[in-house]
């Protein structure tokens, strides 16, 4: 019963943390862990497959932010690589036992160093020794009860369809969260136009629409913007030229409407945006040119 109680306590604690901090959590919070009895139980450790000493089977699996993005996704399920090359490593055996016992755990997807999207409950549903990969499906937390974790029963007839739908939704969430975290991290947690540094008020704006929501979320197709400038960018009140200079629409420059317009939009005209330090993470000039041409057409 202890394993089941710890799993449910971990799920409940994660719900509370997401309510406070949002879906993306820091490793510091996860490493400190949650209260259980007279101690705190961490949710992550240096190894990707983590079994707390209080438990008999793994509680969580974690992907590394530096790992290949595509390695985490299969056609319909999440993928998780074995630990090391030995299929008999005790961590791999632990995940294999979870398949047989049908017990849920937590999946932490690394977005950038120290930042993880928390997903739960997930089930390890398949093991492929050839590719040394486990398949992982996400389920609805509302169907997970203490009884199911403690004494697993046969899966309901709708489990595969439900998990497939939820897993596809989570894959899109991971993609969106990875794009946001990578872009904002590249711009050093500030708006590229006005330097606002309150991360809660920052967005990752696409330069051109993301044609492949399942593909690699590329920083060069994004700009870190505060919510005001993101809205202005999306509505073509302003544009960023391929030389990284801001251009405000002529009719907006001609308006007179108080200090917010004057300093928040008109004052940006002709200024150069703040750029990532890494040249490889800077906005793609070709993408900026495509969007700027659209801006010029709408301004005519």
Residue 58 has a pLDDT of 97
Same domain, 77 and 149: yes
Q: What are phi and psi of 193, to 5 degrees?
A: -100, -50
Choosing from 142, 164, 182, the residue where a domain stops is 182
Residue 147 vs residues 3, 106, 119, 151, 258: alpha-carbon distances, Å: 12, 18, 21, 6, 61
pTM of the predicted protein model: 0.86
Q: Is 266 exposed, middle or buried (0-12, 13-18, 19+ CB in 10 A)?
A: middle
Same domain, 39 and 142: yes
pLDDT category at 71 given cuts 50, 70, 90 is: confident
Buried b (16+ CB within 10 A) or exposed e, 103-118: bbbbbbbbbbeebbbb
Residue 203 vs residues 32, 49, 110, 185, 299: alpha-carbon distances, Å: 28, 32, 19, 11, 25
142, pLDDT greater than 70: yes
Residue 80 has a pLDDT of 95
Q: What percent of the chain has pLDDT over 90?
A: 71
119, pLDDT greater than 80: yes
Which CATH number do you get for residue 10?
2.30.280
Tell the residue number behind the tokens 């699996």, with chain if given.
Answer: 61
Same domain, 49 and 176: yes
pLDDT in tens, 205-223: 999 987 666 667 899 999 9
Same domain, 153 and 196: no
pLDDT in tens, 149-162: 555 555 666 777 88
Residues 186/225, Cβ–Cβ less than 8 Å: no
pLDDT category at 122 given cuts 50, 70, 90 is: very high
pLDDT in tens, 2-39: 888 999 999 999 999 999 999 999 999 999 999 999 99
Residue 266 has a pLDDT of 87
The angle at the Cα of 60, spanning 55 to 62, to the nearest 5 degrees, equals 145
- What is the average pLDDT across 253-260? 82
Same domain, 137 and 242: no
DSSP-assigned letter for residue 156: P
Q: Which residue range forms the structural domain that includes residue 249?
A: 188-299
Same domain, 178 and 195: no
Copy the structure tokens of residue 76: 């319909």
Residue 36 has a pLDDT of 95
The length of the chain, given as a count of residues: 300
Same domain, 82 and 140: yes
Which range is least confidently modeled, 61-75, 237-251, 284-298?
Answer: 61-75
Q: Alpha-carbon distance 96 to 127, whole Å? A: 7
Copy the structure tokens of residue 177: 């969260």
Tell the residue number behind the tokens 């996400």, with chain if given.
Answer: 138
Cβ neighbours for 27, distance < 8 A, ≥ 6 positions apart = 44, 114, 115, 116
Same domain, 126 and 249: no
pLDDT category at 300 given cuts 50, 70, 90 is: confident
Choosing from 138, 162, 182, the residue where a domain stops is 182
Choosing from 131, 166, 182, the residue where a domain stops is 182
Residue 144 has a pLDDT of 66
- What is the average pLDDT across 197-204? 94
Residue 28 has a pLDDT of 96
Same domain, 59 and 169: yes
Tell the residue number behind the tokens 């959590």, with chain if given.
Answer: 25
Q: How many domains does the chain have?
A: 2
Residue 289 has a pLDDT of 96
Residues 77/125, Cβ–Cβ less than 8 Å: yes
């Amino acid at each position: 019963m202890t394993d089941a109680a710890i799993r449910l306590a971990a799920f409940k604690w994660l719900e509370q943390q997401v309510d406070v901090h949002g879906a993306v959590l820091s490793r510091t919070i996860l490493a400190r862990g949650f209260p259980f009895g007279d101690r705190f139980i961490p949710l992550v450790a240096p190894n990707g497959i983590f079994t707390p000493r209080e438990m008999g089977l793994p509680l969580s699996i974690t992907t590394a932010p530096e790992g290949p993005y595509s390695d985490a996704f299969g056609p319909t399920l999440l993928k998780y690589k074995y630990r090391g090359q030995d299929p008999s490593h005790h961590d791999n055996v632990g995940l294999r036992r979870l398949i047989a016992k049908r017990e849920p755990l937590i999946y932490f997807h690394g977005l950038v160093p120290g930042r993880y999207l928390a997903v739960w409950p997930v089930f390890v549903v398949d093991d492929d020794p050839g590719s040394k990969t486990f398949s992982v499906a996400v389920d609805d937390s509302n169907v997970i009860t203490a009884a199911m974790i403690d004494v697993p029963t046969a899966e309901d007839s709708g489990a595969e369809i439900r998990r497939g739908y939820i897993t596809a939704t989570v894959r899109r969430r991971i993609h969106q969260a990875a794009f946001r975290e990578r872009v904002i991290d590249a711009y050093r947690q500030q708006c590229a136009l006005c330097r606002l540094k309150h991360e809660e008020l920052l967005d990752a704006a696409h330069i051109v629409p993301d044609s492949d929501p399942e593909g690699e979320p590329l920083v060069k197709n994004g700009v870190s913007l505060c919510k005001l400038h993101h809205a202005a960018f999306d509505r073509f009140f302003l544009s960023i030229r391929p030389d990284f200079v801001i251009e405000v629409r002529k009719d907006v420059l001609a308006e007179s409407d108080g200090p917010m317009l004057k300093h928040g939009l008109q004052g940006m005209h002709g200024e150069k945006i703040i750029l990532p330090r890494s040249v490889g993470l800077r906005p793609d000039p070709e993408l900026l040119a495509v969007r700027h041409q659209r801006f010029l057409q709408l301004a005519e």
